[in-house]
Structure 1
């Protein structure tokens, strides 16, 4: 839960406006290339490196032969989706002059793991990945329910991660043998 008791959740409104104006003036400024590198430590323990930040551990639970030390990749995808929606709501609220005191995004998704990473149930035409994701959002702030609904709806509509889930994405992979 993203709540600061007695305080407002805030971002730099002037900085947000500058980003918005720059993107409107030159849409190419909004196009970026993001990078992440994942290195297997041992078993199903993976360290993912992003920018110069501390690495993130991603693993598997014992039921999937992991050591339960970190969220698994699918849980991490849900976390990314929930975080993106939260960021969008705070940005939308700030843009409207609404002060939020609570943002909570609870994510739940149904996934079929019977393919077991390509070594299990893999009939032709099997659809992999999440089949349904449910998102429950709690917002509190100094606006009425209709404005909070507009903030919610706009964040859902424009979430980059949500839109990645909604549409096909071209993924290219190349093997480097060492």
Structure 2
């Protein structure tokens, strides 16, 4: 087994080959089930993962997550806020993408640290100013990467590639369809 950045490069290449040969394997659906706990609180758990049309029930209820809002935003500050989860999702995806793409390029990382910030104008959420979006206006990601065997140019190329290949960044940066139904 050849591993770089704790990524099994052989398994990565096998996955690339498998999805190339059978694109259906590249179709993945993540899911969670959540229940309101009163106020601004939600408890959720992972649901089945579906890949290539096959459900994998092993992830059902395997992980739990809670969310709340800070006191200043009408919550009771008992858990991470949805906005912070969004930043965490991007940071987690960037980490996966950086480590994987670096491994594929033979770049050994000593460390990666991410600082993220996101701005929201509450006037949109509160309905005070309908012309203002209720969502985040901008997200800033500062990547600190240590890779002694790589040049600054190689790291800049890596981060540019991460910006193009991160699924969560792509989801945030480009319009997607969000379908909401009352069950």
Fold conserved (TM > 0.5)? Answer: yes
Paired residues for 1:63-102 under 5 Å: 63-102=72-111
Alignment length (residue pairs):
166
> Deviation at 1:122?
5.1
Q: Which is further off, 26-35 or 130-139? A: 26-35
Residue 146 of structure 1: aligned partner: 153
TM-score, with length taken from structure 1: 0.85
Structure 2 contact 123–132 (Cα < 8 Å) conserved = no
**Residue 156 in structure 1 maps to residue 133 in structure 2:** no
Residue 175 of structure 2: aligned partner: 168
In structure 2, which of residues 117, 123, 136 is the aligned counterpart of residue 108 of structure 1? 117
Secondary structure of the residue aligned to 1:67 is coil
Structure 1 contact 9–102 (Cα < 8 Å) conserved = no
Q: Within 2, Cα distance between the matches of 1:93 and 1:24?
A: 20
Q: Structure 2: 5+ residue runs without aligned partners?
A: 47-58
TM-score, with length taken from structure 2: 0.83
Structure 1 contact 10–99 (Cα < 8 Å) conserved = no
Residue 49 of structure 2: aligned partner: none
Task: Pick 1 or 2: higher relative contact order, CA cutoff 8 A, min separation 6.
Answer: 1
Residue 26 of structure 1: aligned partner: 22
Q: Structure 1: 5+ residue runs without aligned partners?
A: 1-7
- Could you list the structure 1 runs, at least 4 aligned residues long, displaced by more than 4 angstroms after superposition: none
